[in-house]
Amino acid sequence: MANKPLVIAVAGGSSSGKTTVVNKIMDSLKDFPVVVIKHDDYYKDQSEMTVEARRAVNYDHPFALDNDLFLEQLKQLIAGNAIEKPTYDFVNFTRSAKTEMVEPAKIVILEGILVLEDPRIRNLVDVKIFVEADDDLRFIRRLKRDIEERGRSMDSVIGQYLGTVKPMFHEFVKPTKRYADIIIPNDYSHDVAVDFINAKLLSILK
């Protein structure tokens, strides 16, 4: 397709710094129309379940995500069509009633812990990035984020991390690093790596 957008995927463990990397890429590509699609918004609708049952769901397993809808909407964006993207309510553990209209753009950035897990999605991605960070650092960042931004208790965050987040990272997330074109170490600073990525992306676009 002559006008096919450049599709970039940014994967990595929970709180590894994916959003920071995405924001730095967007700053570099501000002269181009960019849309960001967060894989998290495609968690399956669970409105018919009790809140207790929703809390027990393993959100770090690929089955928790509606990849069929994600794939279909990604194809629509690539074809130059607008989509009505779902959004997710992380406080109530279910899909929100609100949706977002997303217009097609020259650059489509996909972000999520498992965005490189499904081969159907990988096959549509031009540049695959994996952001890596120390497990302890990621846990501290996640604990702070979930308490401050998602209204979670410390005990619930710790329980979820030990019960599903950590084991699922090693079973499903970390193995997708093998598919990455670029791996960014994010324990301290990633500026040099992101600068190289941005230079490459600009060369592709021009």
- Summarised one tens digit per residue, pLDDT across range 85-116 is 999 988 788 899 999 999 999 999 999 999 99
Please tell me the predicted confidence (pLDDT) of residue 188: 59
The answer to whether residue 193 is domain-embedded is: yes
Report yes or no on 129 lying in a domain. Answer: yes
Give domain status of residue 15, yes or no: yes
Q: Please report, for the domain that includes residue 41, its CATH number.
A: 3.40.50.300
Q: How confident is the model at residue 194 (pLDDT cuts 50, 70, 90)?
A: confident
| 67 in any annotated domain | yes
Confidence class of residue 2 from pLDDT cuts 50, 70 and 90? low
104 compared with 195, residue with greater pLDDT: 104
* 169 occurs within a structural domain: yes
Closest CA to 59 of 36, 88, 84: 88
Banded pLDDT at 192 (limits 50, 70, 90): confident
10 vs 135: which has the higher pLDDT: 10
Number of domains making up the chain: 1
- Strand ranges for the chain from DSSP E: 6-12, 34-38, 83-89, 94-102, 107-111, 127-132, 182-185
Kindly tell me if the per-residue pLDDT of 187 is higher than 90. Answer: no
- In this predicted structure, the answer to whether residue 56 has a pLDDT above a threshold of 90 is no
Q: Which domain holds residue 175?
A: 6-205
Task: Please report whether residue 41 resides in a domain.
Answer: yes
Residue 147 falls inside a structural domain: yes
Q: For residue 1, tell me if it sits in a domain.
A: no
